[in-house]
Amino acid sequence: MASIKNLTVREVFELVRPELQRVEEEFVLQTASGVHPITEIGQYLQEGGGKRLRPALVLLSSKLCEYEGLSSIRLGAVVEMIHTATLVHDDVIDQADTRRGRPSTNSRWGNHMSVLAGDWLYMQAFHIALAERNFRILDVLVRLTQVMVEGELLQLTCLRKLTVTEEEYLELAYRKTACLFSACLRVGALLGGKSESEETQLGLYGINLGLAFQLIDDVLDFTSSEEVLGKPIGSDLREGKLTLPLIYLLRRCTPEEARKVSQVLEEGGFHSVRFAEILDLIEHYGTLRAARERAQDFSNKARSFLEGFPNSPFKDALHSLPDFILERES
């Protein structure tokens, strides 16, 4: 039996390049509306790019499960529309000014129009999904949206709290990020007519990949740059979010040092305490390294759920993706 091959990011995306192009075209087609602001905002969001990792997961999972058809294209567009809608709403909630290096939707069109555009994207995504007449897939997507909205509500209750635990943080990371990764993999399994056990395995791969992705996101918020991230660094702490590097820091630092974190949370910015002071603390206590090690654990666990599937280029791609997640810079 052939062994697993490690692929580069380029090689992974090359496996689904033609289909991803069709997903882009579907996104443009499905966000056109007779109401001009919707079309304008939809086009702006589509042009904003992004990695298109989530539709790629739908396509790779579908091909792993031996499905080749238009439904994977349409559902790839659906998950990207759901993801985009969550970003639009997140930016409104966080009062973000930038997204991917450009003005955020809310800073350009205002909160009211942005919320409604996000709502429209959700509804359009479900309109497309409903047309597939696959109620198991629809059930996955409906439950996904419920879990993500619950995650947003839970996060609001955790804002500016020093007492958030690692378990609470991981629950939020699952609801905000990993559940969508999981749904993408499960959609592919359902399109391929796989068993419930195989669908579950791929879903668990997606959860662990998504948790690793979110952890690296949190690390990059401290180590990257605004030019690379497309948004100001230190945004999470400024917005009152206690991420894993900070949770680990608060376990290890002195009460006086913890007060610096508390002050940033209370002031909603780096006013009395500079960002560099917080960065010095997390570097001194090694909490970025600890968060990366936790992400590595989730990546290794993700790979373990692929073991029952036959070897193929698509299994190689999914096996290689955790490395891309861990090494990414934006």
- Nearest Cα to Cα of residue 181 among 146, 202, 207: 207
| Distances, alpha carbon 288 to alpha carbons 216, 244, 285, 293, in Å | 9, 9, 8, 9
pLDDT of 326 reads 94
Tell me the DSSP string of 128-194: HHHHTT-HHHHHHHHHHHHHHHHHHHHHHHHTT-TT--HHHHHHHHIIIIIHHHHHHHHHHHHHTT-
pLDDT of 98 reads 87
Percent of the chain whose predicted confidence (pLDDT) is above 90: 82
Task: Tell me the domain boundaries of the chain.
Answer: 8-133
Torsion of CA 186, 190, 194, 196, to 10 degrees: 60
226-243 CB burial, b ≥16 within 10 A, e <16: eeebbbebbbbbbbbbbb
- Rounded Cα gap, residues 172 and 154, in angstroms: 7
Going by DSSP bridges, is the β-strand pair 98-99/102-103 parallel, antiparallel, or unpaired? antiparallel
Residue type at 64 in one-letter notation: L
Higher-confidence residue of 101 and 195: namely 195
pLDDT digit string (tens) for 32-52? 888 888 889 888 988 887 789
Going by pLDDT thresholds of 50, 70 and 90, the confidence category of residue 1 is: very low
pLDDT digit string (tens) for 196-251? 999 999 999 999 999 999 999 999 999 987 777 777 788 999 999 999 999 999 99
Tokens of 138: 């629809």
Tokens of 110: 């205002």
pLDDT digit string (tens) for 314-323? 999 999 999 9
> What is the DSSP-derived secondary structure letter of residue 2?
P
Could you tell me the CATH superfamily of domain 8-133? Farnesyl Diphosphate Synthase (1.10.600.10)
136-170 CB burial, b ≥16 within 10 A, e <16: ebeebbeebbebbeebeeebeebeeeeebeeebbb
| Distances, alpha carbon 177 to alpha carbons 69, 134, 151, 184, 212, in Å | 27, 24, 9, 11, 10
